[in-house]
Structure 1
Amino acid sequence: MNLKNRKNRSLLTILGVILGMTFLLSFYPKNDKLFSIAKNLDIFASLIRELDSYYVDEIDPDKLVSVGINAMLEELDPYTEFIPEEDSDDFRMMTTGEYGGIGALIGNRTGSNMILMPYKGFPAQEGGLRIGDEILQVDSVNVVDKNTADISKMLKGPANTDVSVTIKRGVDTVQVKLNRKKIVISNVPYYGMLNEETGYIKLSDFTTNAAMDVRKALVDLKAQGAQKLILDVRDNPGGILREAIEVVNLFIPRGKEVVRTIGKLQNVNTVYKTEKSPVDKNIPLVVLINERSASASEIVAGALQDYDRAVLIGRKTFGKGLVQSTIPLSYNSQVKVTTAKYYIPSGRCIQAIDYSQKDEEGNGRNVPDSLRNEFKTKNGRIVLDGGGIEPDEEIESKIYAPITYSLVTRSLVFSYANEFTLKNESVPSPREFQIDDQIYDDFVEWLSDKEYDYTTRVEKTIADLEKYAEKEKYYEDIKTELASLKKSVGHSKEQDLVTFKDEIKEALKDEIVSRYYYQEGIVEASLNKDAEIEKSIQVLRDQNLYAMMLKP
């Protein structure tokens, strides 16, 4: 639809709103909230009409209205959002995990649009596309200067349709013809046995079939001899509520409450219970959580904690206890609006931020500890509301050295892995492959003409001290000591490459493994040096410790 037609349609719509509001205004009493809504809609529609008539330049009503809508919704919470017709497909893909396309994650690295992850078993991977391939052309369109969102839309399309992708790999330019398929990304990128008795399942999302994916993994692991289980929902942002309930149901008997939703309207107040027989209600279970586990992840972890069915290890979760419902609007648009809050079996709400109470910058306020309420699990353990799900055993997050952070964020580890892959057809399995000294020395030599300088935390602290000393007139008194301190803590990139060799090796390993074993390989490669998994195995091996952690 061209701009003129869109503009006419927008103005006709606004005119209809004005007429409708004028009609409604004649019936609403002055003190009625509906009168206030109708009045302000009338003002808004009139404003757009007058701007279109009198503003010095041509205006785009669609754009102005969208800006107004989005600004209005930002006053509420981050989860209430307007979804215009043109974004409906992307929204559906996010919630279902299904779309038509080539099955690859793309993004911008080193200033170029690249394949970041071809999903195993789908057209991109089967057609030979690799991580690091620079996308030059889609069909006959040059996409070098386009943004990744536009390229992504071009790559998507109905299943069984062809698309041609021209990529640059090293010094070669390659054209690949792919046949799009219906893409359904698995919610379980990896599962396997950690030892002779402990199974592990990585659950990365709660899109369609999440519970089925976990069920299949659980049944298979039990067939392999798993007598204990680790369920990993770290970094899982959540998704479909029904899938979360069914994941809990794998470990909890039929008829047990998992979560209830409570909102302003009666029709959103619902109690959700397990409806099936569990796969295993007795297997010792650890759930791994962290600060990026949110929403459905928190429902699973919180419900299993409330029933004392699992030991939670890791760090406090994000704290998203708000429920969104999608409401259709005119012209195939939608609004995703917060309609209720989640309450898990103990009765606690896990929402950490109160968006009805904003600070001076317009941000929601964290629920203060003084207002958090105590609840009890089935066994009588005390748990708190208002701040996410807290683990039964906390493991501090790993802090990387500034040099490692610099090498990763500047995409130097990424770029080296690309070059390594061009020279090496294969590497051992993810858990066997290691970065030996020969590979590491080659990486260090490769870095010799690359820029990756950085500032350590100590150096930044001294720089801040120097700045405040100058501001408060103390600099002349302490400048000698400051100079000596700066000299003693000044970092050496060459020395840091030696000092932090082990963690840089781990970053290199993860990146290189992803080139050969994809998403599954990244997870598997990380298992050997994972503090949370090491603690989980320790807890599961000690039956007395496991039982003690589930008691008051």
Structure 2
Amino acid sequence: MKYNRKQKTGFSIVAGLLVVLLIFTGFNRDEKLFLVDKNLDIYYTLVRELNLFYVDDINPTDLVKTSIDEMLESLDPYTTYIPESDMEDFKFMTTGEYAGIGAMISKHGDQVVISEPYEGFPAQKSGLKAGDVLLEVAGKSTTNMSVEDVSNLLKGPANKVVDVKIERPGQKKNLELAIVREKIQIDAVPYYGMLDDETGYIRLSNFTNNCASQVKKAFVELKEQHDAKKLILDLRSNPGGLLMESVEIVNLFVPKGSEVVSTKGKVKQWDKTYTATENPIDTVMPMAVLVNQGSASASEIVAGALQDLDRAVIVGTRTFGKGLVQTTRDLSYNTKLKVTTAKYYIPSGRCIQALDYSHRNEDGSVGNVPDSLISEFTTKKGRKVYDGGGIVPDLKIDLDRLSSLSINLARQFMFFDFATQFANEHESIAAAEEFKIDDAIFNDFKTFVKERGFSYQSETEKVYQELMETAKQEKYFDVAEQEFEQLKVKIGHELDQDFESFKDELKEMLTDEIVTRYYYQRGAIKSAIQDDKGIEKAKETLKDPNAFSSVFTKGKIISSNLIVQPDNDWVLRPSLELHEA
């Protein structure tokens, strides 16, 4: 059953009363308990009456979950209800582990396709390829199924067979495969290696169980077997995860006893200061940490602590700004509540939370932490830093904005589909770090796009169209028609011209898609780091002792401008709903 906006708002208001009363400080404990009991009783009788008398049948589970979700959404995005049906996804988020075939699947039009098989896991070993269409899973047709439903069919007990029927583009006959599920553990460190004779590189993609051990293993190998004398730790687009893993990673590079992060919340006995409890593996090697707007939570603890302790130079763009700590509480019927219980503070004493959920606007929206609440702090060596806006890098990188052409090509699966066709026609390509899109491949791609009838509007053209429609409605268009026509000509685009203007950008995105088909995630990373502006900036700074040491000059201001500007960081295939399988 579906509910309109007004009904949902009503339910959220009723359910939200409970939370408001719980956190309202004007009542003493007995009054709060009375109000909790009173409003729970009202809520129970309301649902009961709806169930008895509402004109249509209602689903009590959906109804209550809607009210719970709306109620928690009024607090912050991280306080969430986890029903029993979502426990496997929750486990995967915290451990990186599940049982399945080891692939990413997504919706492509009306079909569910393999978006990326993971190297070394059942999907890849059984011969599944990116672009394969899943027709049947476990004897059930995937027609009209959601990506989540197909994902649930592919997951299941380890060492059990799941039958799949696929359609492979370019082949007339459908394929039937019997794939043995395995326990899938996604590496938190998908790649590490030497960038040159002196500089080691470690990519950390999330903070799941034992990721600190993976970082330690990678670092020790780079240092002892490859004689690394400098290190770049890449935390870009790492959304975070387990708090203790971030503490252990910082501990690898700072002296024992150093403060890493502290948490402070309403329940004072839960307040805690986390320090480096083990002997570090290296406290002197020059080190850079790469971040961007997608670096959040535990990533910001690592970057912020290393910045506050003047241990590493931070390179990139401002981080996300999530300084809230969640605790998981068990509820009845095998459900859970993930609730924000505290804020975390890095060694200088600053909290990097960027959005102020406790002071909402009149319309309920949330703004940045106001200037009046922003405070100045200092790093270990006396550099000035500020709270309320994520981690501001020591060395900022100006990101190249993607063109509307690239964005629309990705949204319409042009890169994805061409890579599928290319991989079916070419058995192999050069090594990941050597493969380049030459003019012949690029022209084939342009022809492919045209044959598919691709068309798009730039954002400028969309705004122009809206302006013109508004002008017509308000009867200004007739008096400015000539100007509108002149503007239309100036902002209009021509596909061949755009392909030439954004050639380098398109080649880069196409390279990533094709390399992934042959060398999977590890290969895509090896390819991408060849011309990476952030990595080049970090390498350049690490190689120059004077440039590196100057970053930590006492009294230096890292940033005093805390207006958060969205980065428009691009994630390939943004329109895809991706699920592990």
Alignment TM-score > 0.5, same fold: yes
Q: Is the 8 A contact 1:135 1:144 kept in 2?
A: no
Partner of 1:203: 204
Query: Residues 433-473 of structure 1: CA distance to partner in whole angstroms, max 9, x if unpaired?
Result: 00011111111122222233222344345445545554665
Query: Residues 38-76 of structure 1: CA distance to partner in whole angstroms, max 9, x if unpaired?
Result: 100011111222223333333322222212211211111
Residues 1:120 and 2:116 aligned together: no
Query: Residues 374-408 of structure 1: CA distance to partner in whole angstroms, max 9, x if unpaired?
Result: 00000000111111111011112221122122111
Partner of 2:166: 167
Q: Is the 8 A contact 2:310 2:379 kept in 1?
A: yes
Between the aligned partners of 2:311 and 2:208, the Cα distance in structure 1 is: 24
Q: Is the 8 A contact 1:252 1:274 kept in 2?
A: yes
Q: Which residue identity lines up with residue 264 of structure 1 in the other structure?
A: K
Query: Residues 181-223 of structure 1: CA distance to partner in whole angstroms, max 9, x if unpaired?
Result: 1111000111111111111111110011111111111111112
Give the fraction of aligned pairs with identical amino acids, expressed as a percent: 50
Mapping 1:257-296, distance limit 5 Å: 257-296=259-298
Q: Is the 8 A contact 1:100 1:157 kept in 2?
A: yes
Deviation for aligned residue 1:173? 1.3
Between the aligned partners of 2:141 and 2:93, the Cα distance in structure 1 is: 27
Mapping 1:425-464, distance limit 5 Å: 425-463=427-465
Partner of 2:564: none
Q: 1:122 to 1:473 in 2, by over 3 A?
A: same
Q: Is the 8 A contact 1:313 1:392 kept in 2?
A: yes
Mapping 1:309-328, distance limit 5 Å: 309-328=311-330
Q: Count residues in correspondence.
A: 525
Partner of 2:104: 105
Q: Which residue identity lines up with residue 209 of structure 2 in the other structure?
A: T
Deviation for aligned residue 1:299? 0.3
1:226 equivalent among 225, 228, 236: 228
Q: 1:540 to 1:32 in 2, by over 3 A?
A: same
Q: Is the 8 A contact 1:291 1:316 kept in 2?
A: yes
CA RMSD of aligned residues (A): 1.8
Q: 1:484 to 1:354 in 2, by over 3 A?
A: closer
Q: TM-score, normalised by structure 2?
A: 0.87
Partner of 2:19: none
Q: 1:31 to 1:209 in 2, by over 3 A?
A: closer
Deviates more, 1:536-545 or 1:456-465: 456-465
Partner of 1:6: none
Partner of 1:84: 83
Between the aligned partners of 2:305 and 2:63, the Cα distance in structure 1 is: 44
- SS at the partner of 1:397? coil
- SS at the partner of 1:357? coil
Query: Structure 2: 5+ residue runs without aligned partners?
Result: 1-26, 555-581
Partner of 2:149: 150
Q: Is the 8 A contact 1:110 1:411 kept in 2?
A: no
Partner of 2:62: 63
Partner of 2:249: 247
Q: 1:51 to 1:288 in 2, by over 3 A?
A: same
- SS at the partner of 2:531? coil
2:531 equivalent among 510, 529, 532: 529
Q: 1:465 to 1:50 in 2, by over 3 A?
A: closer
Deviation for aligned residue 1:246? 0.8
Residues 1:306 and 2:305 aligned together: no
Residues 1:389 and 2:391 aligned together: yes
- SS at the partner of 2:358? strand
Q: TM-score, normalised by structure 1?
A: 0.92
Q: 1:30 to 1:524 in 2, by over 3 A?
A: closer
Between the aligned partners of 1:36 and 1:372, the Cα distance in structure 2 is: 36
Q: Which residue identity lines up with residue 59 of structure 1 in the other structure?
A: I
Between the aligned partners of 1:387 and 1:83, the Cα distance in structure 2 is: 29
Deviation for aligned residue 1:324? 0.5
Q: 1:169 to 1:190 in 2, by over 3 A?
A: same
Between the aligned partners of 2:336 and 2:29, the Cα distance in structure 1 is: 30
Residues 1:212 and 2:205 aligned together: no
Q: 1:473 to 1:268 in 2, by over 3 A?
A: same
Deviation for aligned residue 1:256? 1.1
Deviation for aligned residue 1:139? 1.9
Between the aligned partners of 2:491 and 2:72, the Cα distance in structure 1 is: 48
Q: 1:298 to 1:479 in 2, by over 3 A?
A: same
